[in-house]
Amino acid sequence: MERMNISPNIKLKDLMKLPEFGNTGKYILFTPGFLGMMMGGMTLAKQEAAGWNHESIEYGLSRLKEVVQAGQALYPVYTEAECAKDKQKKDVNVIFFPKTEDHGKKPFLIFCAGGAYSSVCSAVEAYPVMARFNELGYDAFALTYRVGGKALLPKPIDDLAAALKMILAKSESFGVSDEYIVGGASAGANLISLFGTDNHGWKTYGLPKPKALIPVYTFINHTLSGSSPVMKFCLNCMFGKKPSQEKLAEYDIDTHMSQDYPPCYIVCGKDDSTVPPANSELLKKRLDQLSIPAVLEAGEHAEHGFGDGRGTSVEGWMDRADIFFASL
């Protein structure tokens, strides 16, 4: 892969307009509304100071450039008629990253980047992960789901389910397996963790069970949300102001898990200052109680937003996840 050379002084809005990315540029860091306008004026260097890894972003965007140059990369999830009824749906899509190495038949992967349910930061948390899994022999899709506003749930789960139905219906044309793995980071990890539950998961959408889930610094229970400003903002996006205890309990993942929950490769950092790692620990505890295969990889030093993990204690986590999937 020929690496792109991206200046750390480039503004995010200008990064998204680079011609190499075609119609996928808008979704590199998808943040609708006023917040998007504010973020667009920030430089990549400023975001690096908050924990983003420049080398990782270049690696992921280089792979995105390749898939765009090869032909169609972006696929809408909803029909024009569905988008006419809900304008937010027009931005729900997947970007297809075909595998670059063949290591035998493997499931395809769909990955949901995070962003506090107000953004989908795919350049940071999805594309680098896609690129490495491509090298490990996995076809992969990066999902842009609905974000922004208040009391958003369960719309992002609906989007994940709709994307999977579309991919599975076109699996022959994509040339992908009919088995799949679902991964996500931060808010995206909360989304995919919900997808394993009995009340908001794969069964309720009539979908086949995922082979595995990959929750990366996930959020599991509202009582473990911590006190970070990002998490407070995220909870407002998820539930709105002053949600009822019944609504909060409805989305507490650990209380809606059964033996039908998929196996998990869980990744987090013990020094995460945004989402307490106790969430990942609770998920692993519940999986152990249910005798479901699971690994918790908790790095000693891996701050929130590490994406593919380079430069942290969990660097190379995707290779270890691949070994776990092969054991299932």
Which CATH number do you get for residue 298?
Answer: 3.40.50.1820
User: In terms of C-beta density within 10 A (0-12 exposed, 13-18 middle, 19 or more buried), how is residue 76 classed?
Assistant: middle
The reported pLDDT for the residue numbered 47 is 84
- What does the pLDDT look like over 273-318, one tens digit per residue? 999 999 999 999 999 999 999 999 999 999 999 999 999 999 999 9
The reported pLDDT for the residue numbered 50 is 72
Residue 60 domain-assigned? no
Least confident of 73-82, 138-147, 224-233, 242-251: 224-233
Residue 12 domain-assigned? no
Rounded to a whole number of angstroms, the distance between the first and last alpha carbons of the chain is: 31
Q: For the stretch 9-30, what's the b/e string if a residue is b when 16 or more beta carbons lie within 10 angstroms of its beta carbon?
A: eebbeebbeeeebeebbbbbbb
- Let me know how many helices (H) and strands (E) the chain has, helices first: 14, 8
Question: What CA–CA distance (Å, rounded) separates 30 from 264?
Answer: 27
Residue 64 domain-assigned? no
The reported pLDDT for the residue numbered 36 is 77
**Average pLDDT of the chain, as a whole number:** 96
CB distance 114 to 219 below 8 Å: no
Residue 48's pLDDT band (cuts 50, 70, 90): confident
Per-residue DSSP letter, 305: T
Three-state SS for 183?
A: strand
Q: What is the pTM of this model?
A: 0.97
Residue 300 domain-assigned? yes
Residue 319's pLDDT band (cuts 50, 70, 90): very high
Residue 264 domain-assigned? yes
Residue 268's pLDDT band (cuts 50, 70, 90): very high
The reported pLDDT for the residue numbered 118 is 95
Residue 22 domain-assigned? no
At position 278, the amino acid (one-letter code) is A
The reported pLDDT for the residue numbered 34 is 73
Expressed as residue numbers, the domain containing 179 is 75-305+314-327
In the structure encoding, which two tokens stand for residue 162, read together?
């709709």
Q: What is the mean pLDDT of residues 211-216?
A: 98
Residue 187 domain-assigned? yes
Residue 37 predicted with pLDDT over 80:
no
In the structure encoding, which two tokens stand for residue 37, read together?
């306008």
Question: What CA–CA distance (Å, rounded) separates 155 from 222?
Answer: 19
- Sign of the CA dihedral running 53, 137, 157, 86: positive
Our count of domains for the chain comes to 1
Question: What CA–CA distance (Å, rounded) separates 67 from 96?
Answer: 8
Three-state SS for 180?
A: strand
Question: What CA–CA distance (Å, rounded) separates 39 from 118?
Answer: 12
Residue 49 predicted with pLDDT over 80:
no
Instruction: Say which residue, 48 or 83, is predicted with more confidence.
Output: 83
Cα 78 to Cα 28, 85, 93, 113: the distances in Å are 19, 11, 8, 19
Residue 2's pLDDT band (cuts 50, 70, 90): confident
Compute the residue count for the chain: 328
Residue 251 predicted with pLDDT over 90:
yes
Q: What is the mean pLDDT of residues 243-260?
A: 97
Q: What is the mean pLDDT of residues 14-30?
A: 96
Residue 47 domain-assigned? no
